[in-house]
Amino acid sequence: MNCTPVRPAFISLTLLAGLTACTSTSDRYPSLAIRDAERAYASGAFDSHPTPPPAPVELSAALVQKLSQLQGQAQQAHHAFLAAAPRTRTLVNSARGSAIASDSWVAAQIGISGLEAHRNRAMVAMADLDALLLQTEIEGGAREAVQQAHTAVDSMIHEEDSVLSSLKGQLQQ
């Protein structure tokens, strides 16, 4: 292998060319000095006009009807859930400690599946309310009314979730 040492003059010229490139005084680049806006922001003295609250939006008859329909759908599903819950609780209590795939365990699973079907009907209404809530956020509208309906249906679903979680936990023991 034949290596020739690099000449010191070549290294010096390369370094010198690189350093001269750094000393450019071009006006093509913006100044790095603090701008007035940055100075005002840092001091907290920027002009801030509070945005006025949005004007109340009147509910259209179609929206009132849609909200009523969705809440009614969720309430019907919730009432059916609550009506079926005691029987399912009895089935789960009788299946506690039994083998998986035994008759009592299968009956309890069928009862839980029935409760989940009622919950799913309420979830369909909740999905429609989610879409309406998003639509009012984007387009503007009667957000408060949609939010109230959303909150009411959400509380029903949370109650159903806690019952289902409890029953499933008892069945696994």
Residuewise pLDDT in 10s, the chain (173 residues): 566 666 777 777 777 777 776 666 666 777 788 888 787 777 766 556 667 766 666 778 888 899 999 999 999 999 999 999 999 999 999 998 888 888 999 999 999 999 999 999 999 999 999 999 998 888 877 888 999 999 999 999 999 999 999 999 998 86
108: which residues sit within 8 A by CB, 6+ positions away? 88, 91, 92, 94, 95, 167, 171
Domain definitions of the chain by residue range? 62-172
Q: How far apart are the first and last CA of the chain?
A: 77
CA 164/CA 49 separation, integer angstroms: 50
